[in-house]
Amino acid sequence: MAEDRSGDVIVVGSGVIGLTTALVLAESGRRVRIWTREPAERTTSAVAGALWWPYAIEPRDLARAWALRSLSVYEELAARPDETGVRLVEGVMGEARLDEQGRWAAARLPGLRASTAEEYAGTGLWARLPLIDMPVHLAWLGARFLRAGGVVESRVVTDLAEARAQAGVVVNCTGLGARELLGDTAVRPVRGQLVIVENPGIRTWLVSTDAVAGTTTYLFPQPGRLVLGGTTEDGEWSLEPDPAVAAGIVARCAVLRPEVAGARVLGHRVGVRPVRSAVRLERDALGGGADGGGVLVHNYGHGGAGVTVAWGCAEVVLGLVS
């Protein structure tokens, strides 16, 4: 008799969205496998900044709810930063005003206030937020998933019917892969480049937006390094660092923090964000039928805010497959 796999789950994709979703499902008691073309340490998630903040993600109200649920998890994980990669760090979100954030932020972020002139030359918010060392965090997620009984399989998926033939529940966390896998041209690449330098003593993060130049500049202190960014190049797929772009990033960061100018460069990172006009987080109306049956859930298109909403979205998926 063939083994009954109707209760099995296959999560396609191993970025922070896929890993977190798979972990939540596995810890709910389900038998979960991740199918992934590349390991987590080679995904876009691995090169993310990564500061918790619901930045440029829609639908806004739902994204804030997902972000706040994720915030609760990160606050707990920050008690073990060396293990989880999550720390609570103070910094300034430039070009942001307290009255623009509404109750969602003020009620949930103790100490949120307008930044002082000494902290930032422009208008900004001073906040204590989760700052996540993604290589450490992804490794921790993967290890916790395995401890929960999960399995990771290296596999190139060209049709979700392959997964649906082997499991009663399939969760599509393919990010940009959904363009080809589903023909969803609404998800598009937005390239981001970072420069990694020796930290000259900066202990707070800073994000500064220049609306006229169309740039967002940021400095994120991570253990053993300082992450400088960044770029938002819409429609660009290249993963090769551009030396001229890197020089521009360092120059912009040095305007904000002059001590960065002489910092030794340790490396360059490039990632391509899966941006969509709105996150696709839903149970597929066509999930049942002759093409494999079972349940199909989509969870992709989070742009640069994947780590910000990962846990909230994963819990939504759990509800959709229950």
- Positions at the binding site: 44-45, 157, 174, 218, 273, 303-308
Residue 197's identity, in one-letter code, is V
Axis crossing angle, helix 16-27 with helix 134-147, rounded to the nearest 10:
30
What is the distance between the alpha carbons of residues 53 and 206, in angstroms, rounded to a whole number?
A: 12
Please report, for residues 223, 308, 321, the alpha-carbon distance to residue 289 in angstroms, rounded to integers and kept in the order given: 50, 34, 16
Tell me whether strands 31-36 and 151-154 are parallel, antiparallel or unpaired.
parallel
What is the distance between the alpha carbons of residues 235 and 231, in angstroms, rounded to a whole number?
A: 12
Place of tokens 């740039």: 215
Report how far Cα 3 is from the mean position of its chain's Cα atoms.
36
What is the distance between the alpha carbons of residues 73 and 83, in angstroms, rounded to a whole number?
A: 14
Q: Which residues are annotated as a binding site for D-dopa?
A: 218, 273, 304
Residues 99-127, buried b or exposed e (16+ Cβ, 10 A)?
eebeeebeeebeebeebeeeebeeebbbb
What is the distance between the alpha carbons of residues 113 and 274, in angstroms, rounded to a whole number?
A: 32
Q: Is residue 164 within 8 Å of 41, Cβ to Cβ?
A: no
Which of 200, 171, 195 lies closest to 259, judged by CA?
Answer: 200
What is the distance between the alpha carbons of residues 239 and 241, in angstroms, rounded to a whole number?
A: 6
Q: Which residues are annotated as a binding site for FAD?
A: 44-45, 157, 174, 303-308
What is the distance between the alpha carbons of residues 304 and 312, in angstroms, rounded to a whole number?
A: 15
